[in-house]
Amino acid sequence: MELKRRFFRAPAGSFFLLGPRGTGKSTWLRAERHGAIWLDLLDPQTQRLYLARPERLRELVAGQPQAGEVVIDEVQKVPALLDVVHELVEKDRDLRFVLTGSSARKLRRGSWNLLAGRLVETSMHPFMAAEMGDTFSLQRALEVGLVPLVWGSAEPEMTLRAYASLYIREEVQAEALVRDVGAFARFLEAISFSHGSVLNLAEVARECQVGRKTVEGYLGILEDLLLAFRVPVFTRRAKRHLVAHSKFYYFDAGVYRSLRPAGPLDRPEEIEGMALEGLVAQHLRAWIAYRASGARLYYWRTKSGSEVDFVLYGPDVFWAIEVKRAASVHGKDLRALRAFREDYPEAEVCLLYLGRERLAIDGIPCIPCEDFLRHLHPDRTELWP
């Protein structure tokens, strides 16, 4: 696959680079970091060496004094290395470290907190449409997602089906994060019905036939493995009664589709609608991360049922975005955005839909979703061209 230019920008000093497996962290680093000392902890032999003697890193650095940078790939495989990195950072402030990881759980048990003040935390996300240029296809993105490992595969559907089992086997089972891997696999499917919806843990627990606290623990694992995220309610200067619970999303629309069971009673448009909303969510999340401006992603829902899918709020952005899986727009589709605009006249609002024309209804822009995604770029702060 052709190497695509990513929007991720590395900080000037040492940094953590977090992101799910397959999002291109190692590929980006190998293209950008020539001459660095490199530790690939996915290599079994290297992993065994440093599990046995993490202090070996001191000897490796001392043996290559000309190298000003050290890359440790998948550092969570040997958390004890964080103590050695902390020592080396304190000893030589000019030595730069780049630590990648696809699981935050083990890292937080080590010297993560000590290093947090010295290494900036950054993240790599699935492809954004604007990174892909003419190769982006909205329909294909909805079917297989935008994880580079999957998108570039010769058989993306097969790779996608194997993706979740890879995490269950390598990250969950191998690290003994749960006692019952079968129950966790059922949880992955059960919570897929909550993708794009207000999260009800009690309902998920009933579906999995486990306790609510167990489901809370499973959800924590899913978030620590960077496979999912929650979107909180926007409550600033609230003028209406709002719901309290967050919405849930898998980190990639394709991963959601691979985990979401489908049968005769499932409406295809319902699954497609949640996939589309998730695709927009992952783009907005990546846009926020790559800009590093302090903006956050929310949603807005009143207890009476009015809902705006996404609210972006930060120092230089205040957007409210509604996503509709429809090729046409009607006045009733804009009710929630009108209500939000009444409460927050400072916000820019828009509706994304599957039509081809850019419309304006009651002063609210209605933009083809594909146009919006292709336009979304970390250097731009306008909603549409």
pTM higher than the cut 0.95: no
Classified as helix, coil or strand, 294 is: coil
**In which residue are the tokens 């048990």 written?**
109
pLDDT attached to residue 109: 61
* Cα gap 312→207, rounded to integer Å: 32
User: How many other C-beta atoms lie within 10 A of the C-beta of residue 212?
Assistant: 13
In 3D space, the residue among 330, 318, 333, 327 whose CA is nearest the CA of residue 355 turns out to be 327
Q: Which strands make up the sheet holding 247-250, listed edge to edge?
A: 197-198, 247-250, 228-231
Q: Is 88 exposed, middle or buried (0-12, 13-18, 19+ CB in 10 A)?
A: middle
Nearest to 142 by CA among 370, 329, 375: 370
Among 232, 235, 273, CA closest to 256: 273
**Two tokens, residue 383:** 């909603």
> 330 vs 319, 327, 335, 374, CA distance in Å?
21, 10, 10, 24
What is the residue-level pLDDT of the chain in tens, covering all 385 positions?
557 889 999 998 899 999 998 999 999 999 988 889 999 999 999 999 999 999 999 999 999 988 889 999 999 889 889 989 989 988 887 899 999 998 877 676 655 666 766 888 899 999 999 999 999 999 999 999 999 999 999 999 999 988 877 777 667 776 556 777 788 888 988 999 999 999 999 999 998 888 999 999 999 988 988 899 999 999 999 888 999 999 999 999 999 999 998 766 567 778 899 999 999 999 999 999 999 889 999 999 999 989 999 999 999 999 999 999 999 999 899 999 999 999 999 999 999 999 999 999 999 999 999 999 999 999 988 877 7
Cα–Cα distance measured from residue 94 to residue 14, given in angstroms and rounded to the nearest whole number: 9
Domains of the chain: 15-123 (3.40.50.300), 129-375 (no CATH)
Which pLDDT belongs to residue 224? 87
CB 288 within 8 A of CB 7: no
Distance from C-alpha of 25 to C-alpha of 42, rounded to nearest angstrom: 13
User: 193: closest CA among 247, 112, 122?
Assistant: 247
Burial of 320 (0-12, 13-18, 19+ CB in 10 A): buried
Token pair recorded at residue 300 = 């807005």
Which residues on neighbouring strands pair with residue 197, listed in sequence order? Answer: 248
Residues facing residue 40 across a β-bridge: 73
Nearest to 151 by CA among 167, 166, 133, 132: 132
Q: Which residues contact 187 (CB under 8 A, 6 or more apart)?
A: 204, 208, 210, 215, 218
| Residues 271/133, Cβ–Cβ less than 8 Å | no
Largest CA distance in the chain: 69
Here the tokens at position 16 are 């953590």
